[in-house]
Amino acid sequence: MSWAALVGADFVRRGSTGDAVDGVVPEWVVRPGTAGEVRACVHAVAAQERSLVASGRGAHLDRGAPPSSCFVLLRLDRMDAVLDHQPGDMTVTVEAGCTLAALDGVLAPAGQWLPLDPPRPEATTVGGALAANLSGPLRASQGTARDLLLGVVVVGSDGALVRGGGRVVKNVAGYDLPKLHVGALGTLGVIVEATFRLRPRPPCERAVVLAGPAERAAAAGLAARDLAVPPCWLELAAPGVLDERAVLAVGYAGLAGEVAAGCDAASALAAAHGLAARVVDAGAALRGRLGAFGLDAAAVLRAATLPTGVAAVLDAAGGRPAVAHLANGVVRIACACDDLRGLVAALRPGLEATGGSLVVERAEPEAKRGVDPWGDVGPALALMRGVKAALDPSRTLAPGRFVGGI
Amino acid sequence: MLPAALVGRLRGIVGGDGVIDRADSLVVYECDGYTLERAAPDVVVLPRTPAEVAAVLRCLADARVPFVPRGAGTGLAGGTLPVGAPVMVCTSRLQRIEAIDVANRRLVAQAGVVNLWVTNAVRAHGLHYAPDPSSQPACTIGGNVAENSGGPHTLKYGVTTNHVLGVELVLPSGDVVRLGGAVEDRPGYDLTGLVVGSEGTFGVVTRAVLRLVRTPEATRTLLAVFDSVEAASEAVSGVIAAGIVPAALELMDRIIIAAVEAAYGVGLPTDAGAVLLIELDGPAVGLDPQVERVRGVCGAHRAREIRVARDERERAALWRARKRAFGAVGRLAPNYCTQDGVVPRTRVPDILRRIAAAAERHRLRIGNVFHAGDGNIHPILLFDERDADEVRRVLAAGREILEACVEMGGSLTGEHGIGVEKIGQMPLLFGPDDLRAMVALRHVFDPDERANPHKVFPDAKVCVETRAPRRQAAP
């Protein structure tokens, strides 16, 4: 196969251990520069009955299960153009390889943002954020990728270019294909372009951090959702994550008056719950630090429960570093590699039995061996297998990476 | 006609009063809110529980009979018109709200629960269900899920798909599958997101887990009056460009103002070119500065008057006028057809010009009442269905308006769905590869295409028998 003929010799090389996808070293690393080149590459891989994994800058390739095979690592980092920012419409269409930080650089001068704040925005591409359904503290008020995504263009496993959704903020024509690609880890198509709704960029962001006993902090956190000024984000942490004492952070973003009123209300709430409160002026920086939780840990688990179940999960983390998107019921727990299996076995059954889940968000390949990173998704798995078979019958796209070995 | 034995089996499942097969009773079911085409089913089945829905669908699967799901029949694109589907399965009797979890802001509703009942059930807790279609006193959650319904307040709060966390779906085989659930971040494909807006082509949704949102502390509702529809629509762009996200931003033009005023007398200026209904909500502390900014923008766009509702009664009156505008239109003409297109929000002035031009060219009266902040237009084409030529002109003008939406980078439908109405125009928006992917997905859920057949996707098999409008059965 002459990859050079498809994308140019400068953009093809042999894969090495540094390119490994969850421990699986690709034979080739190919970097297409256009959607047309992506189509040609996918077509070529499929024609040889081999497989590929799509990637942006490789910042989040340790998610999911290792691929059962990976002939080509398709890197989309060259496709990084912001194609169409319409400030008046508050929408942006962007190529999949554009990083969130670069996109933000285009949106900020217009006073807008894409309120999606996963860790490492400088290395996280739009395509990666969608495929892995990455999120951060902002999801408490701004939703996740599924709520912000208006349209996608993907390359299917047959090399066809498939459009879903559109470029307008409201659209119910046809099935909602964009939803299907969010969080699918590239198993249904290679995302090459996405359109998002944007929001006004808040001019001011501050936070109140609360310190005191865990139980009271959890109660205060849940109560914070009912304050007149609703928090923009709300993180409940195990001791030691925020700082030595604080365990709850209530973030406010918006006009200065609103933010000030929010901070006052959160401080009053703290007093009412017998907690100490401190205002953090650098709210966005604190949010970034909480969002980046666990980057230095060997492994991170991600538990999902109802908001009222968060405190119990934090408790069950048994003193390990952990932080929760409280309003969403999502708890991330850092652990050592040799601790992973035991912790999954201890936490997963209870969470799954109550409608929740526990996934291995990130771990070294060695540590994941013998652990299903996804857990049991229940009877809907049959339909999910059907969806995979409908859109990627040849299993060309990231085989084995997703739930149930999809 | 359906074999009598099959009808008997259906009666056995849902009881004698749950099956309607008398021609005079079936007339009610021959169309939904889209009245240009009519066709009655052979049989309407009204199960009372999710389990009965599953039993009905299993029975139909055994007999290989296609069916059309229906909620309250308020859809506006003919999504519940039976085309090649002799059995209609109505979920309107599945009326239980099964669970309310205030602390986690979740509610589990059966498909036949009326949209407004959800908010009524949780209002005392300071919560509400955000999607609020104009038909919310009648439309059901099941129908909302099928159509991914919107409403005025979706500008700020999102549409149905943003508020549905899980569904119970009865597949055309009769198998029951639960997708998603009350907890976020469920691993696996977002099948809930795929089912929402699938227009009943995957089966029948019997339950939905809904997200409730906190009712904002304060609300300000403004009525801005403009001499021309152009000025009003430019003010819409101005508000958005100012970085303000109103809870709702609705436009009514002169024709609609006249109809609403005649029907409800809420004091709208009938000599105005257009009015904007602008609602801001949020913490009280930030609201009045926003009201001032909106006033400023409207003033800069030559608003001749800006009223702020002084109390909840005035606010409710304005919203009643807006939400019942469609009903009021009944005073203007014997029939009307509501279109539903979307343009990028900065193109609202352009599309309104195109609508006016279409009205003139086709010698029609077209009113506009729509979600201007979203760019989601609802031109209302007035006609008399006894005038066959006028009906033809209505269809032609509707098509032209939608084509203009697509040409401007928009969509064929923002919240009503494709149904039967817009099937022919799907290729304007989607290419063969896009449509092939969607049909492949449909076959995962419904391999025999028995669930709401001949909807959404252009399909050579659709016959033309229903294409000509019929007289209404009753005057």
User: If you count residue pairs, one on A and one on B, with CB atoms under 8 Å apart, how many are there?
Assistant: 243
What are the pLDDT digits (tens) for B332-352? 999 999 999 999 999 999 999
> What is the CATH number assigned to the segment(s) A82-200?
3.30.465.10
- Greater pLDDT, A364 or A232: A232
Residues of A in contact with B282 (CB under 8 A): 258
Residue ranges matching CATH 3.30.70.1710 in chain A? 204-290
> Is B430 close to A258, i.e. CB distance below 8 A?
no
- Report the complex ipTM: 0.97
What pLDDT does residue A61 have?
A: 92
Sort residue A246 into left (φ over 0), alpha (ψ -120 to 50) or beta.
beta
Instruction: Point out the residue among B162, B189, B343 whose CB comes nearest to the CB of A387.
Output: B189
CB-based contact, B197 to chain A, within 8 Å: yes
CB B94 within 8 A of CB B47: yes
* Tokens standing for residue A209: 């951090």
Q: Tell me whether residue B385 is in a domain.
A: yes
Residue A378 has pLDDT above 50, yes or no: yes
Residue ranges matching CATH 3.30.43.10 in chain A? 3-75
What pLDDT does residue B326 have?
A: 83
Nearest CA to CA, how far is A13 from chain B (Å)?
Answer: 31
Residues of B in contact with A113 (CB under 8 A): none
> Is B429 close to A380, i.e. CB distance below 8 A?
no
- Tell me the longest C-alpha to C-alpha distance in chain B: 70
The nearest alpha carbon in chain B to A152 belongs to B434
| Beta strand ranges found along B145-270 (DSSP E) | 164-170, 176-180, 204-211, 213-214, 218-226, 248-253
> Is B342 close to A262, i.e. CB distance below 8 A?
no
The closest of B324, B368, B371 to B345, measured between CA atoms, is B371
Residue A403 has pLDDT above 80, yes or no: yes
Q: For chain B, how many structural domains are there in total?
A: 3
Interface of B with A in 82-121 (CB under 8 A): 101, 103-104, 106
The nearest alpha carbon in chain B to A353 belongs to B183
Q: What single letter denotes the amino acid at residue B135?
A: S
B297 and B375, same domain (yes or no): no
Q: Which residues contact A268 (CB under 8 A, 6 or more apart)?
A: none
What pLDDT does residue B473 have?
A: 29
For residue A282, the tally of other CB atoms under 10 A from its CB is 12
B283 and B232, same domain (yes or no): yes
Nearest CA to CA, how far is B351 from chain A (Å)?
Answer: 14
DSSP state of A191: E
CATH of the domain at B307: 3.30.70.2190
B172 and B106, same domain (yes or no): yes
Q: What CATH class has A204-290? A: alpha beta
Residues of A in contact with B346 (CB under 8 A): 86, 88-89
What pLDDT does residue A1 have?
A: 65
B195 and B252, same domain (yes or no): no
Nearest CA to CA, how far is A391 from chain B (Å)?
Answer: 7
Residues of chain B short of pLDDT 50, as ranges, are: 460-475
CATH of the domain at B174: 3.30.465.10
Q: Last residue of a domain, which of B289, B324, B359?
A: B324
The closest of B403, B414, B329 to B377, measured between CA atoms, is B414
> Is B433 close to A258, i.e. CB distance below 8 A?
no
Q: Tell me whether residue B110 is in a domain.
A: yes
CATH topology of domain A293-375: Alpha-Beta Plaits (3.30.70)
Rounded to 5, what percent of chain B is helix, strand, coil? Answer: 40, 20, 40
> Is B191 close to A384, i.e. CB distance below 8 A?
yes
Q: Which residues contact B166 (CB under 8 A, 6 or more apart)?
A: B178, B179, B180, B181, B182, B192, B208, B209
Give the C-alpha separation, A143 to A383, whole Å. Answer: 26
Instruction: Point out the residue among A183, A261, A356 whose CB comes nearest to the CB of B285.
Output: A261
- State the best of B105, B122, B185 to mutate against chain A, taking most chain A CBs within 10 Å: B185
Q: Which residues contact B135 (CB under 8 A, 6 or more apart)?
A: B33, B72, B74, B115
Decide if domain A3-75 falls under CATH 3.30.43.10.
yes
For residue B276, the tally of other CB atoms under 10 A from its CB is 27
CATH of the domain at B384: 3.30.70.2740
* Tokens standing for residue A403: 């739930």
Nearest CA to CA, how far is B74 from chain A (Å)?
Answer: 17
Residue ranges matching CATH 3.30.465.10 in chain A? 82-200
B248 and B268, same domain (yes or no): yes
B208 and B102, same domain (yes or no): yes
Nearest CA to CA, how far is B347 from chain A (Å)?
Answer: 9
CB-based contact, B442 to chain A, within 8 Å: yes
Give the C-alpha separation, A338 to A366, whole Å. Answer: 10
* Tokens standing for residue B11: 């009666």
> Is B183 close to A356, i.e. CB distance below 8 A?
yes
Residues of A in contact with B150 (CB under 8 A): 170, 172
What are the pLDDT digits (tens) for A128-147? 999 999 999 999 999 999 99
Q: Tell me whether residue B448 is in a domain.
A: no
CB-based contact, B137 to chain A, within 8 Å: no
Instruction: Point out the residue among A88, A147, A386 whose CB comes nearest to the CB of B241.
Output: A88
Give the C-alpha separation, B358 to B368, whole Å. Answer: 13
Residues of B in contact with A133 (CB under 8 A): 185
The closest of A181, A165, A237 to A392, measured between CA atoms, is A181
CB-based contact, B184 to chain A, within 8 Å: yes
Number of alpha carbons in the 13 Å side-chain half-sphere of residue B385: 17
What pLDDT does residue B474 have?
A: 29
B247 and B301, same domain (yes or no): yes
Q: Tell me whether residue B224 is in a domain.
A: yes
> Is A258 close to B283, i.e. CB distance below 8 A?
yes
CB-based contact, B346 to chain A, within 8 Å: yes
Give the C-alpha separation, A107 to A103, whole Å. Answer: 6
Q: Tell me whether residue B449 is in a domain.
A: no
What are the pLDDT digits (tens) for A270-296? 999 999 999 999 999 999 999 999 999
For residue B223, the tally of other CB atoms under 10 A from its CB is 24
What are the pLDDT digits (tens) for A180-230? 999 999 999 999 999 999 999 999 999 999 999 999 999 999 999 999 999
**Which residue segment(s) compose the domain that B111 sits in?**
97-214
Q: Tell me whether residue B88 is in a domain.
A: no
What pLDDT does residue B145 have?
A: 98
